[in-house]
Amino acid sequence: MIRLLLVWLLGWLPLLGAAQGPTKQWDRSFGGSATDFLYTMQVTADGGSILGGYSNSGISGDKTQPNQDSDYWVVKLDANGIKQWDKTFGGSNIDILRSVQQTADGGYILGGYTYSNLSGDVSEPSRGSADYWIVKLNAAGTKQWDHRFGGNNADLLYTLQQTADGGYILGGSSGSGISGDKSAGVYGISGGTFV
């Protein structure tokens, strides 16, 4: 039985080798002189891409704006993977970008969490520890507004989506009880979900 299976597998190997895989169109690396993390990406309406994560790099390499600590870093690419622009957003403490979406107006919504108090691009004071932090950009990457949401403990945004009415739904984890922007307690062993 083992020989039959081996012969059967060997008979298929030439056919498997003849199958054509996808052809690589391009690959690129982006970063500065320190640690830079990619967490999210999306194909944009123009056929390009928007990349998001966080950066500890100052102006260096592909990074054209200074940082204050770990900051949101977003990079816009064209359809050929050529960088069109990059932008950095953050405050005086750690800011981690986890989700980016192109919006109906052609701009972008960035979502993650911030440990920064009122400083830099963070225009609202801390609610406790880490808070959800969303930043709205226009199509050129210019900041239009930002908002933060949270309770008295760590609230970490991991995903967001624009809704049909033009608003946004946010999702992630929360260690906060009823406090700040939270109207429900924590459920579960290690924290609840906060929407």
Asked if 157 contacts 98 with a C-beta cutoff of 8 angstroms, the reply is: yes
Domain parsing of the chain, residue ranges: 30-193
Asked if 173 contacts 194 with a C-beta cutoff of 8 angstroms, the reply is: yes
| Cα–Cα distance for residue pair 78/146, rounded to 1 Å | 26
- Model pLDDT, residue 4: 35
Continuous segment of H or E residues that includes residue 9? helix 2-18
Confidence of residue 17 (pLDDT cuts 50, 70, 90): low
Asked if 172 contacts 114 with a C-beta cutoff of 8 angstroms, the reply is: no
Choose the weakest-confidence range: 3-12, 106-115, 144-153.
3-12
- Model pLDDT, residue 12: 43
43-80 pLDDT, tens digit per residue, is: 999 999 999 999 999 999 999 999 999 999 999 999 99
**pLDDT-above-70 percentage for the chain:** 86
Note the residue count of the chain.
195
pTM (predicted TM-score): 0.84
